[in-house]
Amino acid sequence: MKTVTIYTDGACSGNPGPGGWGAILQYGKLQKEFSGGEAHTTNNRMELTGVITALEALNEPCVVELYSDSKYVIDALEKGWAKGWKARGWVKADKKPALNPDLWERLLALCEYHTVHLHWVKGHADNEFNNRCDELAVMESQKFKKETEPTADGRDFPALVRVSDRIWYLPGEDFTGRDRPFLYYVKGEKKSLAVDAGNSPAHVRAFYAALEAAGLPRPHITLLTHWHWDHTFGLTAVEGVTMTSAATNEKLGQVAQWKWNDAAMKKRLNTGEDIQACDDCIRREYADPGDIRVTTAAVSLHGDVEIDLGGVTCRVMLRDSPHSRDGLFIHIPEEKALAVGDGESGDYYELGGAYDQNRLTELLAFLEGLEYDVALGGHQAPWSKADQLAELRGFLTGE
């Protein structure tokens, strides 16, 4: 059989949102690129579609060396999870539905037809073919982005989305764009509160413009969920009182000393102080990284506090998380919601996006003990507590 090499990647702005996929097929000296996208999809569906399209382009059974940066795809195939989901009628071990059964059905059939050897590669790193697939995926996703109203400085902003009677959010982007997190807004009878400061002054201006368009006042208080750049670099443009944990402020004080020229940024990548995905997104967000100004929040919190906004309470809880050691969670009991920042995600600085099992176990115990129906995530639209816990348990059990 012929041996071919395939590289694939998927991208989604908003997850769900406009998405794209890219694939490169290599055979001998021949190389062919494929790409496509959808107006409303998810990152995982785009990852799967890239693999499926490339395999379906092969006219005969082949030995395929498949390279992807998607743990979702590689692990589900390599560890047999997808076959298990299919055997149980597309139900996972925790009795929850397995997502994307239509695409998994096609991919499993293709893996039976071809001899597929799986290779995981680190995304946004030094693999030129993976990076090219990422470029193709992002370009395709951008074709589907909706037109939005301009802000005062000429930048675009999406409209606010209402979660409940007193909670709204500004949709964000993922690593394939500018890595803008979802910014949440809680309106009380006396005061209002924002969750996170965004990744730049331009991001803050977009947030404030969306609030104005919705007839909502600017937040009196802004809470930072952790120190990472995408949640804090907009702090210099934030109005009102800014608050975060003492641990976050300590780290921001260190980052404030960083230099933002090409040599300094490359050095931090080499030392591990920063990671490639963040460096890429910073360069997309800032035309000149030299414009970056990092500051600390005005108020440092050393323990849990409650903030009364008038008719709605924000319980601020400082906890270690699998994502960062300075996690801050905001429980809004009247709205049955919990803002988690990126606390439910893996550790990108120390573990390449994977989970420390002990920290994940502690997070699950913490979340299970809280009463809420909706989880407000940092880089995805709000989802149910049941789905959130099921996915996190899956990372513990490997299913």
Per DSSP bridges, beta strands 161-164 and 183-187 are unpaired
Q: 302 catalytic, yes or no?
A: no
User: Environment class of residue 82 by beta-carbon count within 10 Å: exposed (0-12), middle (13-18) or buried (19+)?
Assistant: buried
CA distances from 222 to 117, 126, 207 (A): 48, 37, 12
Q: Which of 38, 134, 274, 326 is catalytic?
A: 134
Q: Which of 38, 69, 140, 173 is catalytic?
A: 69
- With beta carbons less than 8 A apart as the criterion, state whether 250 and 222 touch: no
Q: 89 catalytic, yes or no?
A: no
Q: Which of 17, 20, 37, 47 is catalytic?
A: 47
Instruction: Report CA dihedral (175, 178, 179, 184) to the nearest 10 degrees.
Output: -150
CA 183 to chain CA mean position, Å: 13
Q: 9 catalytic, yes or no?
A: yes
Residue 133's closest CA among 215, 66, 201? 66
Q: 288 catalytic, yes or no?
A: no
CA distances from 61 to 26, 64, 111 (A): 15, 9, 10
- DSSP single-letter state for residue 97: B
Tokens of 232: 């804090």
Q: 347 catalytic, yes or no?
A: no
Q: 134 catalytic, yes or no?
A: yes
- DSSP single-letter state for residue 148: -
Q: Give the angle subtended at the CA of 292 by the CAs of 289 and 296, to the nearest 5°.
A: 150
Q: Edge to edge, what strands does the sheet with 383-384 contain?
A: 305-308, 313-319, 327-332, 337-341, 374-377, 383-384
Give the residue ranges of DSSP H helices in the chain.
43-56, 71-78, 81-87, 101-113, 128-142, 201-213, 229-232, 246-255, 262-271, 276-285, 357-368, 385-397
Q: Which of 10, 172, 327, 341 is catalytic?
A: 10
Q: Which of 124, 228, 323, 331 is catalytic?
A: 124
Looking at the annotation, which residues are catalytic? 9-10, 47, 69, 124, 134
